[in-house]
Structure 1
Amino acid sequence: MADTKKAPRPASSPLKNGYLVLYNAVSAGLWLTVLSRVIATNLLSANGAADVCPTTGELCKWVQTLAGMEVLHSLLGIVRAPFVTTFMQVFSRYAIVWGVTDLFPNDPAIGRSPVYSSMLVAWGVTEVVRYSYFALTLSGFEPKFLHWMRYHGFFVLYPLGISSEAWLIWKSVGPAEQAVGEWYSWLLLAYVVGVYPPSAYILYTHMMAQRRKVMRALKANSGKAQ
């Protein structure tokens, strides 16, 4: 009978591993800065959520832009993340930070809306957990709390982030016609109505599949240990 055991995966090179640890650690620190600013502004600023975009919007835009590296990581095989879902998630964030909030930072319904804060809180917590988890795991640690948050927190964080994103895009449809042109208004409308729902579904179900895979692995390892 043929041996059906899979061959062990080749060990990651120290150079690639070191690069990924550095990338994830830096990204975690940057998102923690964004999240801290959002919380501090909401709690301490006289105008609360209305001051979040003026104080944090530019930083968030460039921190999120850095995440475009993850598309290259997936494309070049540096990480095992699927290219399609990675591209979809990064592109949807780009659409927000470059195509919506960067255009309307002072609009009461967009950049100065509490929904902008709720979106950044969802993004910030998600990314601090994700990047910290990967940085520590690649460094040889097993962060149990971060592992739990990574594969359970998305139940709340994803719907909060996705609904906030969709709301901001929807509210930008009207202002876009005046600021850019009617074509851009129709483009945003088509995106939020026709593209966003299936994309959000794919990303959410991808995380559900990842969670099931991880939970099965934990259960199998637990059974072996007994």
Structure 2
Amino acid sequence: MPPKQTSPAKTGYLVLYNAVSAAAWSSVLYHTVAIAASQGPRYVHPGIGQWTKWTQTAAALEILHSLFGIVRAPLLTTLMQVASRLLLVWGIVHPFPAVALSSDFYTSMLVAWSVTEVIRYSFFALGLLGWQPRLLTWLRYNTFFVLYPLGISSECALIYQAAVGPAGEVSDPYKWGLYAVLAAYVPGAFTLYTYMMKQRRKVMRGLQYKEKKDAQ
């Protein structure tokens, strides 16, 4: 049976979605680095916090993409990653901006998120157009070794600071709910890492095979 053809409308939508997302996260990266370098990390949230919140919120569409089979990404992995980030922007930073204002971890989190997403969305957009630069492929499946620990540790630090500070003043269930989220980060991070490791092995083997074939 021949492989199922992707409709032009679906391809066009995904190219547009990934291109716009790459551009949005490029803006987050540029402003985060520029503000942190010129004014200091404590000014990052006032300068780019709102844009980051809505840029990340738009990524909730990826849950629907996975749920309805628009993309092949596993639903559980997608749900965990998007939900954890929505918790940070809506459940931590939005109600407790002082947590972001008083901590350098907000800046390091945005750097990890934005670099990851610029690479990821660019990789997908170009791939859908039939172009996969080797450097971009390498970055997609190797930078997570550094960016995931940076992002996850920054997220956990912000959640912890909220739990021991303002969230605890709001209510005990809020505080203990955040502690439960921190506990869930351990299996969650393991799931994300193992998924990326499997993807990396498959892709890097394909690159090595292609290089050997091209060298013949």
User: Normalising to structure 2: TM-score of the pair?
Assistant: 0.95
Structure ranking higher in helix proportion: 2
RMSD between aligned alpha carbons? 1.3
Q: Which residue of 2 aligns with 1:23?
A: 17
State the AA in 1 paired with 2:167: A
CA distance in 2, matches of 1:171, 1:205: 28
Residue of structure 2 aligned with 1:51, choices 43, 48, 59:
43
- Alpha-carbon distance between aligned partners in 2 of 1:19 and 1:112, rounded to the nearest angstrom: 39
Aligned-pair identity (%) = 54
- Residue 37 of structure 1: aligned partner: 31
Conservation of the 8 A alpha-carbon contact between 1:52 and 1:112: no
1:104 paired to 2:96: yes
Distance of 1:120 and 1:8 partners within structure 2: 43
Structure 1 residue ranges (4+ consecutive) displaced by more than 4 angstroms after TM superposition: none
Larger deviation: 19-28 or 36-45? Answer: 36-45
Instruction: Note the 1:181-220 alignment, pairs <5 A.
Output: 181-192=171-182, 194-220=183-209
- Superposed CA offset, 1:14-55 (max 9, x none): 11000000000000000011111101111122xx11111111
Q: Report 1:56-67 matches (<5 A).
A: 56-67=48-59
Q: Shift of the alpha carbon at 1:8?
A: 4.5
Task: Tell whether 2:153 aligns with 1:159.
Answer: no
Residues 83-115 of structure 1 deviation map (CA, whole Å, 9 limit, x = unaligned): 1100110001011111111122123xx443111
- Contact 1:122 1:160 (8 Å CA) reproduced: yes
Aligned equivalents of 1:23, 1:118: Cα separation in 2: 25
Partners of 1:56 and 1:216 in 2: CA distance: 39
2:45 partner amino acid: C
Q: Flag the structure with larger Rg.
A: 1
Deviation, structure 1 residue 220:
3.4
Q: How does 1:141-180 map to 2 (within 5 A)?
A: 141-174=131-164, 175-178=166-169, 180=170
> How many pairs does the alignment contain?
214
